[in-house]
A = this chain, B = another copy of it.
């Protein structure tokens, strides 16, 4: 049972990838309204510098607060990794990123205390996951996989080329010091769409963890929602209200977003963000 009135949760991502986090939030916290901001005109963040990402993220998050967001979820791994402190400094509401909950879940899942993290170039270069996991006493190997996002966006989530690319990246990732790692942490919101393919590639004893579900749990904790409470009383359960803002074409967002959210994306408006 929620201890506060129906909250308005702002979810920010560079594009449609964060919809995998929104999907987890909707499952966990349906009694809420959601404002989702996809900075599609300026994506991808994964290959950009920290200063640029911070500048974009702070602007987007400020926009979400202007629209009424009372809690902010930074669903973008790159923005969390590179700019969480700047975002928090520029916000007057609580901010939850995906790195800390993802690292938490990975640390709990690893009995060998050794985790491999895959993500974009910028996320890996920031070493945000490394810092978070090492602080929990877990050894980390980070590996940038820049081709996986375009492969997912091409729709090749079950394609032999994607499997070949993933095998190349993962054989590099699970080598040397990380040969004994027993967790693969998906440090990018696009990667959950590759979970079935990755599950076939990595050995059975390796757990695959993504940040979406653990981030949704962290948000529930923040809202003081009983972790065992599932709002299954149809009388009480209300339909979440969803509103989407995209800086590039609303139509393109609607089209691609549906694949990431798992159900139709409606009510998309174009957000014209001044820098």
Contact = CB atoms under 8 A, between A and B. Distances in A.
Interface stretch (A20-28, A127-135, A143-151): A143-151
Given A161-B165, A164-B164, A49 B248 contact: yes
Nearest to A272: B275
Interface in A135-173: 146-147, 149-151, 153-154, 161, 164-165, 168
A52 B41 CA distance: 7
A244 to B, nearest CB: 16
A204 B247 CA distance: 44
A46 to B, nearest CB: 10
Interface string A191-209: 0000000000000000000
Given A249-B51, A249-B52, A154 B161 contact: no
Contacts of A241: none
A48 interface: yes
A165 B275 CA distance: 37
A6 interface: no
Given A42-B42, A52-B247, 4 more contacts: A48-B249, A147-B151, A150-B150, A161-B164
22 contacts: A40-B48, A41-B48, A41-B52, A42-B42, A47-B153, A48-B249, A49-B248, A49-B252, A51-B249, A52-B247, A52-B248, A52-B249, A146-B150, A146-B154, A147-B150, A147-B151, A149-B150, A150-B150, A161-B161, A161-B168, A164-B164, A274-B275
